[in-house]
């Protein structure tokens, strides 16, 4: 009888530890959507009464005016995404390699009604130009938001990092291109993507977002410019790094994302005199 009781106690403790692990992980992964990150930078609170869409009266052309003054940055002069004209890029010898120090993360997937967002466990960082940013979340857009020489890609992932001292953001953009094979990292989650707005999937399954960078912890080739969030409040607090190398996705996987997110790419914004930089070759 003591042996049975002991076995039950151990099993209960293991289950409790698993549940506590998810609970603690969830506590570290709150308020990582783009609006919350922007509000944190400006010391604001979220206006939950404002809703945006990608078409119609609440579409991109009207974002700057549908939430009072809260989203007026959407009509600003340093907006994202942009079209990257490679003939106009400027070499900058001050640009360093992108250095990634990513640890594994538990799984937390959110369908927020506009995108599929993966919150990331704390402690993973991007270092560039003597600054360090912590990876907070990543999410997807179909089709790609940035274009290169006017060419759009089927999907783009944005890895959103925050400087925990200043609150400024660094976002890595990575393009997907179609392949006959599944993307191996995304393959782990295709059956777990929440189908409905507000849906959340939590799991102790561990993965590493370096899979979107072919597990390279240092990236030399990218485009960089100063821009904004691509969704309201469109805050111009982002250093953008758009990676030149692309990753693969199968048509089946792409169609599944498209069915959930539909077309959720903001139209191309004007450069308004900004430069697009590349590291010196």
pLDDT tens digits, residue range 65-119? Answer: 999 899 999 999 999 999 999 999 999 999 999 999 999 999 999 999 999 999 9
What mean pLDDT, rounded, does the chain reach? 90
d(CA 90, CA 82): 15
Statement: residue 4 has pLDDT above 60: no
Residues 124-132 have a mean pLDDT of 97
Mean pLDDT of 260-270: 97
**Is residue 123 in some structural domain?**
yes
Mean pLDDT for the stretch of residues 205-211: 98
Q: Supply the CATH number for residue 135's domain.
A: 3.10.200.10
Residues 6+ positions from 143 with CB-CB distance below 8 Å: 152, 153, 154, 155, 156, 263, 265
Average pLDDT over residues 118-144: 97
CA distance 172 to 253: 21
Half-sphere exposure (Cβ direction) of 83: Cα atoms closer than 13 Å? 10
The model's pTM is 0.89
Whether 227 is in a domain gets the answer yes
Residue 134 lies in a domain: yes
Q: How many CB atoms lie within 10 A of CB 273?
A: 7
Q: What is the 3-state secondary structure (H, E, C) of 72-123?
A: HHHHCCCCCCCEECHHHCEEECCCCCEEEECCCEEEEEEECCCCEEEECCCC
Domain count, the chain: 1
| Domain that residue 159 falls in | 31-40+53-279
**Minimum mean pLDDT range among 27-36, 60-69, 149-158, 260-269:** 27-36
In a domain, 11, yes or no: no
pLDDT value at residue 15: 35
- Is residue 192, in this structure, part of any structural domain at all? yes
Which range has the worst mean pLDDT, 3-12, 63-72, 221-230? Answer: 3-12
pLDDT of residue 48: 64
Neighbours of 15 (CB within 10 A): 10
Q: Is residue 2 part of a domain?
A: no
State both tokens at 118: 């993966």
Residue 100 within any structural domain of the chain: yes
In a domain, 196, yes or no: yes
Residue tagged active-site, from 77, 114, 139, 262: 114
Residues 6+ apart with CB under 8 A from 142: 154, 155, 254, 257, 258, 261, 262, 263, 264, 265
Dihedral sign from CA coordinates of 22, 25, 27, 30: negative
Rg (C-alpha) for the chain, rounded Å, is 20
Known catalytic membership, residue 114: yes
């Amino acid at each position: 009888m003591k042996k049975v009781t002991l076995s039950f106690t151990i099993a209960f403790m293991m289950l409790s530890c698993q549940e506590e692990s998810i609970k603690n992980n969830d506590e570290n992964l709150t308020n990582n959507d783009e609006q919350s990150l922007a509000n944190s930078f400006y010391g604001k609170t979220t206006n939950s009464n404002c809703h945006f869409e990608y078409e119609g009266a609440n579409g991109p052309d009207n974002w700057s005016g549908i939430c009072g003054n809260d989203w007026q940055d959407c009509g600003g002069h340093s907006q994202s995404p942009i079209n990257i004209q490679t003939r106009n890029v400027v070499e900058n010898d001050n640009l360093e390699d992108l250095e990634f120090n990513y640890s594994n993360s538990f799984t937390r997937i959110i369908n927020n009604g506009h995108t599929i967002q993966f919150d990331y466990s704390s402690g993973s960082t991007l270092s560039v130009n003597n600054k360090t940013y912590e990876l907070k979340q990543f999410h997807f857009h179909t089709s790609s938001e940035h274009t290169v020489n006017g060419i759009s890609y089927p999907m783009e992932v944005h890895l959103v990092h925050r400087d925990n001292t200043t609150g400024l953001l660094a976002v890595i953009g990575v393009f997907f291109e179609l392949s006959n094979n599944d993307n191996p990292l995304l393959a782990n989650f295709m059956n777990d993507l929440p189908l409905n707005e507000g849906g959340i999937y939590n799991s102790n399954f561990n993965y590493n977002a370096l899979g979107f960078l072919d597990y390279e912890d240092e990236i030399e080739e990218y485009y960089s410019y100063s821009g904004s969030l691509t969704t309201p409040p469109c805050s111009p607090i982002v250093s953008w790094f758009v990676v030149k190398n692309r990753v693969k996705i199968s048509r089946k996987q792409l169609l599944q994302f498209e069915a959930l997110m539909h077309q959720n790419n903001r139209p191309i914004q004007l450069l308004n005199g900004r430069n697009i930089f590349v590291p010196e070759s």
